[in-house]
Every structure is written in structure tokens, then in C-alpha cells.
Amino acid sequence: MAQYTRISGSVGLITLKNPPVNALSAVVRQGIVDSVERALGEPEVKCLVICGQSGKFCGGADIREFGKKMTGPPLIPVFHAIEAAAKPVVAAIEGIALGGGLELALGCHYRIAHSKAKLGLPEVTLGLLPAAAGSQRLPRLIGVPAALDLITTGRHVTAAEALQLGIVDQVTDHNTVDAAVKFALSVAGQSLDARRISTFPCPRLSNLDAVFEAAMQKVRQAARGAIAPVACVQAVRAAATLPYAQGLEREKELMATLFTSGQARALQYSFFAQRAVGRWSMPSGARWDTSKPKPIRKAAVIGLGTMGRGITVGLAQAGLSVVAVETQEKQLMEAKQAVSGMLERGAKKRGVSPPLGNISYSSNIKTVGDVDLVIEAVFEDMALKKEVFQQLSAVCRPGTFLCTNTSGLDIDDLASQTPNPELVVGMHFFAPAHVMKLLEVVYGPRSSPQAVATAMQLGKVIGKVSVAVGNCQGFVGNRMLSPYLSQANFLLEEGATPEFVDQVLEEFGFAMGAFRMSDLSGLDVGWRVRKAAGLVVPGKPARMRQGCRYSPLGDLLCEQGRFGQKTGSGWYQYDKPGSRVAKPDPWLHSFLEEYRARHGLVARRIDHQEVLERCLYSLINEGFRILEEGIAAGPEDIDVIYVLGYSWPRHRGGPMFYADMVGLTRVLERLEFYHQAHPDVPSLQPCNLLRKLVASGTPPIHRWREVIKKVHSQL
Ligand SMILES: CCCCCCCCCCCCC[C@H](O)CC(=O)SCCNC(=O)CCNC(=O)[C@H](O)C(C)(C)COP(=O)(O)OP(=O)(O)OC[C@H]1O[C@@H](n2cnc3c(N)ncnc32)[C@H](O)[C@@H]1OP(=O)(O)O
Ligand SMILES: NC(=O)c1ccc[n+]([C@@H]2O[C@H](COP(=O)([O-])OP(=O)(O)OC[C@H]3O[C@@H](n4cnc5c(N)ncnc54)[C@H](O)[C@@H]3O)[C@@H](O)[C@H]2O)c1
């Protein structure tokens, strides 16, 4: 609702009340209409202030209303009524003014913001554009280039930047409502002609075409197929070239195409999924709301390679004390230098001082005796990790949580090395660990709910989106990647090139195709895992392992020292080791031809559809197996992992959402087709849960959990 009160005798105060973010639901919109009407009708009221309850101005339109039949007054006329008011209306912006929230403020005559407030038009991140006149008012207020930046990126700006851009009129460190009331009284009675943004001409640009061409090129490059950023540029162009009323029409037209699009559905699903994963549960029945985390003030990181350094930075930046341990003095010194550099660069960007003092470095594991939690990040070698866990058990005080950053080793096996396996969980970060938002929190059969809650909470503290998953080889993300990569390799055997496979996957929206990604991560990583799994055994029939099809192509490249970017060659060639520009490699093409000839394989023409379906549906099929086994609690968990950790295009929601969009019947049919053609590839065999979902009438994704529950209860 919106509550109307009179303060200081002559100020009408409208307070938006719709926790948690005062979104503009139908009731709130109606409340604003009624309150404005009332205030304008009261002769004693000289001016109005609009604020939000609980220190939050407004988080925008109520996204939960989007899928439903719209009721209540539409936003544009509400904001026009405010702008047309004969008494000054001041927005008192505390906390947030986002999307429709900022558009409401732009309908007001003045804007006062608290210094800690964040403002922005993030509609693009939900597959939309600011369609309550935001795309038309903002360029008129701050000019086309700045408006294009804010609207196409959806980034939030601080109050200080908003002041500099001209979005707000004043910033205060004190009570914002008090400041707004004082301000409103000071301008009461003054002419409002120059305060109605919709009447402003859009600031002229001499190079208008060039600006919009450049903006369009920029968004198309970054969008990876997303349509909203393109529509945002078109809407701002309308503001720059058309009278306000016509610009509004264009905004409405563009919004109509976005509003019902699959991309908007996917992005809004993704928004809620990222919040839903925080409400985790385990098959044992333990849950987020019944498991209390322990506060972590001091942590240790063991192993300061690529991952350990990033994890140390993340912990220190969040204000924790960190003991950073590396056994070799030389590596320790190098790590210290690298970590300090990362902290200094990060602090410079944020305009704060680097928290260098939060970290103490040591080459002696005994120095971790007084920490609350340890994150082990030594080489991916089970014997080594077991040794480290035994040492930790001996030196850590009782109750210390022991976490491992392993990419896929058995958490329970590691836990068995300690007298308190309930304190052991996986904390699987993604590289670069201080940047990537995803954290897989992996619980073993003996991990306590408190250990899981503590790791999930620590993830939150350091700014990660944490997803709780069960223990299995590769956990969720890497396990699903395995059949995807296998299919990509099989396609090469059958006649495709790495360039073609990557092109199809990149057109789908991945930042990098399977082969460019493997070259970046290092081919040796998978090689080591396959060796440890006994798959790389000289003398074995080359293309079969344990009765299943196996492609040794990656192993053969590694035997040649082709580890990817770091060695200057892999699936592609590079100018020099470390270079990032992948070029097609004639050597690799002849190697593939020789390989096919050696194995009696005849190259055939492979089309886009086959590449996409085999790579994506095999990955999705593994996702269904993961759900069936209870390794992930719901499809949202898998989708968040893929969007945040594996560059799955956000506007496609994630693999499980994509399967829902394609249609489960279609996915099942195509898997059956490919499995018939490749009976020696078990990952193409449709999993039981997928069949059950189809048999139960292909329910929409938000109802899959009901079927999953039934499957689990039958086990
Ligand atoms: C035929 C076709 C016709 C087409 C014509 C249709 C015309 C329709 C006209 C529409 C007009 C458009 C108006 C406007 O331009 C559109 C918008 O405003 S879209 C919304 C823009 N706002 C945002 O994107 C903000 C989203 N929220 C956030 O970024 C964050 O939540 C936050 C506000 C920064 C707060 O962050 P935190 O403190 O970390 O809290 P959480 O994120 O965990 O959120 C808490 C809780 O609140 C829920 N929530 C947040 N924002 C909204 C919202 N805008 N609507 C509904 N719910 C919201 C969030 O989901 C959390 O709840 P939980 O999911 O955990 O239950
Ligand atoms: N690199 C990635 O992209 C990535 C992503 C997620 C998880 N992981 C996992 O993180 C872990 C570390 O990977 P990485 O890429 O950082 O490896 P890395 O080779 O870069 O670093 C490992 C570090 O551990 C140190 N070390 C070895 N034994 C030690 C001991 N006993 N005590 C203290 N330090 C010791 C080594 O000197 C080295 O500096 C592995 O388990 C890996 O699977 C890696």
C-alpha cells in the first residue's frame, strides 16, 4: 500500500509500504494515485514528499505480477499525474531507487538521495526496458550517452554519481525524509515549469547517428543474442529523435515485444532462481531455516596457487582475518606479491585502502591452529589432499570446519581422514575465485547441517551466490560438463572441426565454445582427471573404455604437449604461449584426418542442429540424473550453477529452463534418436526422471519438484 500522512502542517507525505523492497504492486500504484489526489485536494498542503518504508525507496515494478493478468492503474499515467501536479513533489530516495522506482522519482519535480542510496534502471537484466517512461525521461535529464550507458547495462550508480550525472538534486548524509521535507517547503510556491522532465528537449548531439551506431555495435557484441539491450538502444534513440509523446509510443511498442518474450521469462526466472538457491535443503531434511551457521572471523587457506590466491583475496576483502599457507618459500613469496597486487588493484577501483593487514602468510601448517574454518586448495591429488586433511585434524582446534576446493574428488573420502567428518564440506570456487560469483557448497553423507549452513553463509559474506549440492564425481557443474565435452569430441571424430562446434555453441550464446574453453582452462586438467580415473591406459582399444565409446583425442593432444593457451597450442594455435587469440590450426585438421583414417571413420557433414542437440541435450540429460539422484534439490540450483559458473547465456535461463522451453517431449525424442544412433554412449540414453516428467504430462519447470518428490519416495 501507500500511506498518506500530513507532516509539518503543510507537507503531504506518501510512504510506499510493500516489503521487502516496496515494489510497485497494483495496491501500491492505487495507493499512490489516491494519496496524490488527496494531497492535491487539501488546500493546507503546499508540497509533497514520496518515500519508502524501512529505508528503501522503491525496487521498481513488482516482477511477480508480470506473468499474471495486470490489474490496478498502469504506471505511466500515475507518474504523469505526479509530474502534472501544481504542488512540488520531492522524491526522498533512501536505499534503492531501481527500475520503476527511479522512473517514479523521475516523475517527481525534485530528487533528494541519501549518500548510501543506489539508483538505476536494471530492466535490461530482466529482459525488459524502462517502459514507465524511463527510456524517455532519463535521456532528457542527463543526455543520451549517459542514459544509454545506464539503460543498456542496467548498472546501479551511487548517490554521488547520480548527483554528478544530474539525476538527483541533492545528496544527504542525514535523515533523507527530513531533508526532503525541508527542501519541499523551500520550493513550495515556485514555478514548476522547468521541473517537468517530459517537457525538456533531449540534449542535442551533433554526431547522433555515430553515437547510436556505436552503441548498437557495443550491445550486439556484448549481448550474445539477447534482445533487450538492442531494444533499449532503440528506445533511447526514440527519445533523442521524437517528441515525448511519440517516444512513449515507441517505448510501449518495444516493450510489448520484450514483455512476452522467452528471453524475459528466462531472465526473470534466473532472477528468482538466484534468490531461491539460498533456501537450500538436503535429502536428510536439513534446511536453511532450521540450520544455524557459526560466525567465521578467521579462516585459513592452504595452497596459494591460482585458486588459493583468489580465495584469500575474497576472504580478506570481506574483512576476515586470513592465514595463508604455502609450503614452498619461493611460491609463498610469489603468492604474497600476487595477492597484494590483486588487493591493491581491487581497492583502487573501489576507492578504499587495500586490506593487506588482514592476511598473515606462513609456510607452516601449524599456524592455522586458531582459525574457525580452513579452505584447502592444494593440487587436485587425492593422496596429497588426504595428507593435508590429516595434518589439519592434528593442528586445528576442535570444531574447526575443514573445507576443500576440490573440483570433483570424493568429499566423504576426504572426510574419513578426520575424526570429525561432520565438519567437512566442499567449497568449490570458480576461477578467478575473487571474481566469479558462484560457489558450489558440497555436502557429503556425513557433513552436518551446521557445516553446510556455515559454508553457505560464508559464501554470502564474501559476495558469492552459493548453491548447496550433494557429493558425486564432478558435483553438479563439472559432472554435467563431462557428457557435453564428450559429445564435442565425438563430433570431431565424425567430421566436425573445433571451429564449427565452437561457432554453433557461441551463436547459442556461450561466451566460449567447448574447445576454446578447454584451451583456456588447460587440456592437461582433464587429462590428469582421466588418468586418475584409469581411462588413459596405453594399449587399450583406442575408442572404447569399459564398454562405452571414448574419444582419446584430448589425450593425444596432451601427449604432444598441446595443453591449450598456456603452451601456445591445443585445439587451436596461438601466436605464443599465453596468447588469447585462437586461430584455426592446419596441423590439427590434418591430425583429425589422419586419426579418422587410422580408425576407419568416414567424415560426414554435420549440421548446426546436431551439434547443439548432442552437446546440450546430453548435458541436460545428466542434469535430470542429478535431480533424480537428489544431488541438486531443484532445477533452479542447476541453472544458477550453469549461468554463473559455466557462461550459459543468462537470457536462456540455464540448461533445465532451456529444456522446459524446448519442450521435454522434444528433448526426450531427440535423445532417443541419438541414443539409437550411438548405443555405446550411455549419456545419450534418456534418464528415468525425464521419461517420468513426460509421462506425467510435461509439467512446467516450477512443478518438477512434485514429480521429483514422487520419484524419490518410490526409491
Ligand atoms: C501484450 C504485452 C503488453 C506489454 C505491455 C506491458 C506493460 C507493462 C508495464 C510495465 C512497466 C515497466 C515498469 C518498469 O520499467 C519495470 C520495472 O521496474 S522491472 C523491476 C526493476 N527492478 C529491479 O530489477 C530490481 C530487482 N531487485 C533487486 O535488484 C534486488 O532485489 C534489490 C532491490 C537490490 C534488493 O537486494 P537484496 O537486499 O539483496 O534483496 P533480494 O534481492 O534478496 O530481494 C529480497 C526479496 O525481494 C524480492 N524482490 C526484489 N525486487 C523485487 C521486485 N522488483 N519485484 C518483486 N520482488 C522483488 C526478491 O525476489 C526477494 O524475494 P525472494 O525471491 O527471496 O522471495
Ligand atoms: N584452476 C581452476 O580453475 C580450479 C577451479 C576450481 C577448483 N580448482 C581446484 O582447486 C585446487 C587448486 O587448484 P589450482 O588451480 O589453484 O592449483 P595450483 O597448481 O595453481 O595451486 C596449488 C598450490 O598448492 C600448493 N601446495 C601443494 N601442496 C601443498 C601443501 N601440502 N601445503 C600447502 N600448499 C601446497 C602448491 O605449491 C600450489 O601453489 C584443486 O583441487 C583444483 O581442482 C581449480
Decide if pLDDT at 539 tops 70.
no
Contact assessment for residue 415 and residue 424, using Cβ atoms and an 8 Å cutoff: yes
Residue 456 shares a structural domain with residue 506: no
Q: DSSP letters of 323-372?
A: EEE-SSHHHHHHHHHHHHHHHHHHHHHHTS---GGGEEEES-GGGGTT-S
- Give the global pTM: 0.96
**Cβ(407) to ligand 2 under 6 A?**
yes
Domain span at 69: 2-259
Q: CATH number, domain at 99?
A: 3.90.226.10
Rounded to the nearest angstrom, the distance between the alpha carbon of 269 and the centre of ligand 1 is: 12
pLDDT at residue 537, rounded to an integer: 78
Ligand 1 nearest atom to the CA of residue 76, by list position: 11
Ligand 1 pocket test: pick from 63, 78, 265 the residue with the most ligand atoms within 8 Å of its Cβ: 63
Does the residue 692 lie in any domain? no
Has 494 been annotated as catalytic? Answer: no
**Cβ(312) to ligand 2 under 6 A?**
no
pLDDT at residue 8, rounded to an integer: 87
Q: Which ligand is nearest to the CA of 102?
A: 1
Cα–Cα–Cα angle for 166, 167, 173, nearest 5°?
A: 95
655-670 pLDDT, tens digit each: 999 999 999 999 999 9
Residue 35 shares a structural domain with residue 101: yes
Rounded to the nearest angstrom, the distance between the alpha carbon of 293 and the centre of ligand 2 is: 27
pLDDT at residue 538, rounded to an integer: 73
Rounded to the nearest angstrom, the distance between the alpha carbon of 60 and the centre of ligand 1 is: 6
CA dihedral angle for residue 359, residue 363, residue 367, residue 368, rounded to 10 degrees: 70
**Cβ(478) to ligand 2 under 6 A?**
no
Residue 220 shares a structural domain with residue 365: no
Protein residue whose Cα sits closest to atom 41 of ligand 1: 275
The grid cell for 624 is 535430470
Does the residue 582 lie in any domain? yes
**Cβ(28) to ligand 1 under 6 A?**
no
Does the residue 469 lie in any domain? yes
Does the residue 685 lie in any domain? no
Rounded to the nearest angstrom, the distance between the alpha carbon of 130 and the centre of ligand 1 is: 12
What is the pLDDT confidence band of residue 541, given thresholds at 50, 70 and 90? Answer: low
Q: CATH number, domain at 532?
A: 1.10.1040.10
Decide if pLDDT at 47 tops 80.
yes
Decide if pLDDT at 243 tops 80.
yes
Give the mean pLDDT of 626-644: 98
Residue 137 shares a structural domain with residue 251: yes
Count: domains in the chain:
3
Residue 414 shares a structural domain with residue 311: yes
Does the residue 278 lie in any domain? no
pLDDT at residue 547, rounded to an integer: 87
d(CA 52, CA 206): 40
Residue 206 shares a structural domain with residue 252: yes
Rounded to the nearest angstrom, the distance between the alpha carbon of 483 and the centre of ligand 2 is: 25
421-449 pLDDT, tens digit each: 999 999 999 999 999 999 999 999 999 99
Q: Which of 73, 59, 166 is nearest to 111 (CA)?
A: 166
Q: Which of 599, 299, 570, 335 is nearest to 457 (CA)?
A: 299
Does the residue 619 lie in any domain? no
Give the mean pLDDT of 545-559: 93
**Cβ(308) to ligand 2 under 6 A?**
yes
pLDDT at residue 543, rounded to an integer: 87
Residue 423 shares a structural domain with residue 530: no
Residue 409 shares a structural domain with residue 558: no
Decide if pLDDT at 67 tops 90.
no
Q: Which of 181, 42, 11, 16 is nearest to 95 (CA)?
A: 16
Q: Which of 145, 151, 111 is nearest to 131 (CA)?
A: 151
Does the residue 654 lie in any domain? no
508-536 pLDDT, tens digit each: 999 999 999 999 999 998 898 888 888 88
Rounded to the nearest angstrom, the distance between the alpha carbon of 424 and the centre of ligand 2 is: 18
Residue 217 shares a structural domain with residue 362: no
Does the residue 642 lie in any domain? no
State the SS3 of 249-311: HHHHHHHHHHHCCHHHHHHHHHHHHHHHCCCCECCCCCECCCCCCCCCCEEEEECCCHHHHHH
Edge-to-edge strands, sheet with 2-7: 2-7, 11-16, 47-52, 89-93, 110-114, 170-172
Decide if pLDDT at 542 tops 90.
no
Contact assessment for residue 574 and residue 565, using Cβ atoms and an 8 Å cutoff: yes
At 118, which helix (H) or strand (E)? strand 118-120
Decide if pLDDT at 540 tops 70.
no
Q: Which ligand is nearest to the CA of 335?
A: 2
Cα 649 off chain centre by: 10
Q: Rounded to a whole number, what is the distance in angstroms from the first to the last CA of the chain? A: 47
Has 628 been annotated as catalytic? Answer: no
Cell 557443474 belongs to 477
Residue 101 shares a structural domain with residue 147: yes
The grid cell for 190 is 515556485
Residues with Cβ within 8 Å of 184's Cβ and at least 6 positions away in sequence, in order, are 11, 47, 48, 49, 88, 90, 110
**Cβ(469) to ligand 1 under 6 A?**
no
Set 103, 376, 440, 636: catalytic member: 103
Set 44, 65, 83, 123: catalytic member: 123
Cα–Cα–Cα angle for 641, 644, 647, nearest 5°?
A: 105
Q: Which of 559, 400, 431, 548 is nearest to 486 (CA)?
A: 548
The whole-chain average pLDDT of the chain stands at 96
Cα 40 off chain centre by: 44
Q: Which of 278, 536, 309, 542 is nearest to 433 (CA)?
A: 309
Edge-to-edge strands, sheet with 157-158: 96-98, 118-120, 157-158
